[in-house]
Structures are given as C-alpha cells and as structure tokens.
Amino acid sequence: MRRYEGRRVFVTGAGSGIGQGIALRLLDEGAQLVAADIDQPGLEITAAKAGDAADRLRTVQVNIADPDSVRTATSEALEFLGGLDVLVNAAGILRPGRTHEMPLEIWNQTITVNLTGTFLMTQSALPALLESGHGVVVNLSSTAAYQAAPYLAAYAASKGGVAAFTHSIALEYAKQGLRAVNIVPAGITSGITTKSILDQPEGFDPSLFARLTGWLNGGALGTPDDIAGVVAMVASDDGRYMTGTEIRIDGGALM
C-alpha cells in the first residue's frame, strides 16, 4: 500500500522502538517524513534502515521538553516538508520507582517529557496541520493510563494526561478538519520496556504485575510493527472518520 504518497509526516521518538517502527512504516507507504529524537545515533540507525526511502527522509535532533528546541526542530521539519499533514508524538521516557521514594525531579521530568513535550510538539505543529485542512495528530498513550501500573505512578499520570489532551484538541479543532487519536499500547519490545523491567525498585512485588501483556501468543510482548501498522491506518484516509478516541493495541490485556 502507498497511502502516504504526497503526505508530509513528522514523527518524534523516531530513533528507536515504536517511533522508529512508525517512521519506517510510513516511509514504506510513500511518506515524505521528518524523524526526530534526542538520540542522534538512534536517528542515524533509522536513516540507515530507511534504505531506498532515504531521499524522502530528514532527521532532526530535538529535546521535546525544551520549547526552543521544539520550535527549531519544527521549523527545520516544515522547511523540508513544505507543510504538514501528520504529527506522531511517540517520544517518551519511563522512570520506575516506589511512589513514596520518588524524587520530585523524577516526577517532574516524566511529566515534562511525556505530557508537556506532547503539548509543545502539538502546539508548534498545529498551524501547519490546520493549514493542510486534513491534519492528524497521533499521540502515544499507554495501558498504564487505564489500569493500575505499580511503580509507574509518574508515567501513568503523564499518559493519562496525554489521553485527556488528545480528546481536548480533537473537539477544539474538529471543525477545522483536524483529527486526533490516542494509540494505547501495552508491553512492546522496545528500550523503554526493557528499562521498565530492569529498573524496578529493589524488592519489588512481581505479583502486582498481573496483566502487563495480553493473552495473545502466550502473553508475549508486542512489537513496534504491531503499533506502526495501526498508526498507518489511523493517520491515513482509511481512518478519516476517527477522532477523539483510543485504539488499544494490547493483546487483550484490558479485556
């Protein structure tokens, strides 16, 4: 399928994991795309994986928690793309820890990157998305926003905020043709999931993690490709009647 021929796309978190998977899938479907991440080596890997599509790809380093960095990256993206049809906010961090021991700076960092960063990227891109007349914002929330997520209070709160933010902008700009959708993954094979597993606090209770993965495939983690295929549908004309809603990709974790 080539649903993205002539479509201009901006993806954050594209240096690894889910963001990289989304960027490569949309490139494969014909997009002209800017891949952004704070991780420059990761972006170089994404560019190398793009293969023959590299001429339609530009990489931009960005710290989504820094307004100046966001403005600069957005300006570079729009210069390359000549406008914008789709923004995918896939960048994020995860810092596990017991809530009563969590330093305020870790709480603030998680909220700032995951929630405020999503806001800053969206705010910066909105004029161009609205100008296109059919702009789409795809945000990455998490099942942690909808079920208990032990040792992940800051992450869960940030992703719950992302979900609420997405609903707000979906209604606010619907009459201007903008669509906004939350993608809600459960456990996915990516660096952020590995970090969650490895960085649990000493003496954590594994029995609290009753359903972090779904029932499919023996409870195995999903892959970035599982997310990328759904994003490709949602942000294309196949998803043209979808806005202000969630799509869970969790193998049945929240059944």
As a whole number of Å, the end-to-end CA separation of the chain is: 31
C-alpha distances in Å from residue 94, one per residue of 91, 151, 186, 198: 11, 10, 14, 11
Q: What tokens does 47 get?
A: 């560019």
Instruction: Report yes or no: 182 and 249 within 8 Å, Cβ to Cβ.
Output: no
Largest CA distance in the chain: 52
Instruction: Please identify which of the residues 4, 146, 151, 155 carries the catalytic annotation.
Output: 155
What does the alpha-carbon distance between residue 121 and residue 16 come to, in Å, rounded to a whole number?
18
Name the percent of the chain in helix, strand, coil, to the closest 5.
50, 15, 35
Residue 155 designated active-site:
yes
Closest CA to 32 of 130, 132, 117, 120: 132
Q: Which amino acid is at 144?
A: A
What does the alpha-carbon distance between residue 185 and residue 196 come to, in Å, rounded to a whole number?
14
Query: Which sequence positions are flagged as catalytic?
Result: 155
